[in-house]
Structure 1
Amino acid sequence: MLQFTEDCRLGIPEIDSEHERLFALVNKGYALLNQEENLRPAAKNLLKHLRDYADTHFIHEEEYMRKIDDPELSSQKREHVDFTNRMNAVDFSRLTDEQLRPALENLLDYLARWLFGHILGSDILIGKFESPFAFTSKYATGIDEIDEEHRQLFRMVKETHDVIQDNLVFDKYDQIVYVVNRLKNYTKEHFKHEEAYMERVGYPGLLKQREAHQAFCDKLAEIQLEDMDNNQQAYLENLIEFLLNWLSVHILHMDKEIGNYLSDLTHEIDL
């Protein structure tokens, strides 16, 4: 019998509870191996419950990871798909009575190995890594309107990342065009707002900011959608890397100086 031990607990109550339920279902299956009569309908019923419960659990687990912006989500989804495909490939109805019991035992052994391996090798990492797309406190300028627009820019870069990770969409051209154009438009609006704010408060670094903003807009304008259509994966990966690097460096080394400038002004006034 499988034991749901403490080292299998993630510290996330809703996920831990569902994992315990999956362990219980597998143990129910092992108990069936000692059943002499009506094994076939019982095995089919168990398989149905395993499929249904696993599907529900995967939805909950992936939604939780999506909410916390966990960078391991795409890897988890691949493992979940592999497991689902394995479950869907099982067909007890084609087996003879002699074949059924060893087939059920093989399935249960696979489930036991998969559960322990998946929980201790993958699930245990949920929430342990900071997403590169997360707008964390280190990026905060202390200026609410600017911080909120920066937060939205990070969301848009993540949206671009999600497009490339969507294995269910073969030709992603239309989606890429949409997210890139949306990013271009939002970036221009953000720069206008940010520069207007700097002008209002008399920020001395406004000229350098304008130059940096223009350089970024020029880079976005160089994006050739035709090239993306020819090699979407590589093009988008390079684009994501550029966007993340530029946003991080620009905010940390330039935009945060706006907040520092305002803090110094406030300090001088207080004196």
Structure 2
Amino acid sequence: MYEFTEDCLIHIDEIDDEHRRLFQMLNEAIQLADESADVTPVANNLIANLKDYAATHFAHEETYMESISDPELPLQRKEHAAFTKKINTFVPDTSSADAARESLQTLLNYLAHWLFNHILSSDIMIGKLPSKTEKASDPFAFTDAFKTGIQSVDDQHQRLFDIIRETNDLIHEELLHDKYDEIMRLLTQLREYTEFHFHDEEALMERIHYPELEAQKRAHTAFVERLVEIDLSDLDNMDDNQQDYLINLVDFLLSWLSNHILGSDMKIGEYMKKNNLAK
């Protein structure tokens, strides 16, 4: 069964309720499959229900994002369209009972993976990206507010902030032509260092038996996959929107990292302090 855990809450009631319902649909399909010799009707019913419910949910989510002028809306629409295409084109394998069951499991695995990653890398940021008037004088400053009290973690967070700052500075460098290869290099560096940091942080959480390790792993995986999906080749088709796309990308990266530190990583330091664990 797939559990809709607390880390999946984005604290927008309608959207959270609809996310819960999507997880419930997956779990109902699993239960029915366990009770059925022939899972083909289960798969067909799941696909039909998902087509309707996902369309409704995506419409609600996009309408809300539009109402708050969320800069992530174009990317959300793209991700929603990819999910819809996958569901619309999925054809269960009915060549045998075993093939049908394996086909259903493949679908369920895809759906659960997509939902967790989409919620934890995209939906979690709805309404959290700062407007131009809300930005701090130096939003890339790694201040004491972000310090967990764990030196190795704080040092790595500082480096992530620095890489994002370097990327932002390069984007705003007006005299530098053909800078997109260099931006891509920095984004690759960010992904690689992020993977190193997450691995190191998860190893620490394992050593101290941190109770929220699995939630952290889900969030880490979702963010890394988001980084992997960044493709600047699309910039050639953006004309005058290239700069806006890159600025919004940096805003997302910085905001996700900031929110993750403040909402999740700070708890690691608190847990270690509460349990008198060496940092």
Q: TM-score, normalization: structure 2?
A: 0.48
Q: Which structure features the higher share of helix residues?
A: 1
**Which has more radius of gyration?**
1
Q: TM-score, normalization: structure 1?
A: 0.50
Compare relative contact order (CA 8 Å, sep 6+) and give the higher one, 1 or 2: 2
